[in-house]
Amino acid sequence: MGNFDTFIEAVKKYAEVYKQFEDIQKDKTFDFVPKTGDQKTGLIGEAYIFEYLKRQGYPDIEFGGPSQKGWDIRYPFDLAIGREVLVQVKTVSAYSKTRAISPIHLPSSGYWELFLVSLNGQFIPDNIWRPTVTAYDTEVITGTRMPKNDQDFASGFTEIENVFEHFKSLFPELYSAKAKTSAKPKAAAKLTKEVKKKG
């Protein structure tokens, strides 16, 4: 029963955090979090990109609804003539063995950006790319995966712009020396606890 008990404890913790995410999604003060979506890894990636755009000073950023397959976020970039950019975000965490990206649905028209967000084991971005996608002769692109580096053309992307350094510069609370050191003791303590349990 020991292993099953450990499993149930993990399930309870997951349920608790899942509910917390659901509550955050319902709370209007969390404007950078999508209000719909049960895939929490994708939700986390979208929240990072929304806040990234917000910290760059873009106004009137908003999320798309469940019916919007070609974009997740949109923001105006030329208010004088009413143009807007449609943004799609694809997120993969360190827990994905294949690093496969879900199908990319292309919008039928308009200016469009794709962000690829790679998350580490703590669900903090460890890389972010903005590849150029020009395959407008199809509605859906499949068979791609999160790049390993800027030259990883086997990922399915040939023009990959890395924006991670710029992202980090706008999120010092995630990447400062203090943020890194404060995260380590918690992880170490958890690992020690697990090892003692098994022993």
Q: Where do we find the tokens 């929304």?
A: 50
Q: pTM, whole model, 2 decimals?
A: 0.81
Domains of the chain and any CATH numbers: 31-172 (3.40.1350)
pLDDT value at position 30? 94
Q: Number of C-alpha atoms within 13 angstroms, CB side, residue 177? A: 0
pLDDT value at position 79? 60
CA distances from 85 to 30, 41, 109, 154 (A): 22, 23, 10, 27
For residues 73 and 84, what is the distance between their CA atoms, to the nearest angstrom?
Answer: 10
Give me the DSSP letters along 149-182.
STT-GGGS-SEEEE-HHHHHHH-HHHHSHHHHHH
Pick from 148, 104, 112, 97: nearest CA to 127: 148
Say if residues 161 and 131 touch (Cβ distance below 8 Å): yes
Beta bridge partners of 89: 115
pLDDT value at position 194? 37
Q: What is the pLDDT along the chain (199 residues), one digit of tens a residue?
A: 678 789 889 999 999 999 999 999 999 999 999 988 778 999 999 999 999 999 999 989 999 887 777 889 999 887 656 688 999 999 999 999 999 999 998 877 678 899 999 999 999 999 999 998 765 557 888 999 999 988 888 898 888 899 999 999 999 999 987 666 555 444 433 333 333 333 4
pLDDT value at position 80? 57
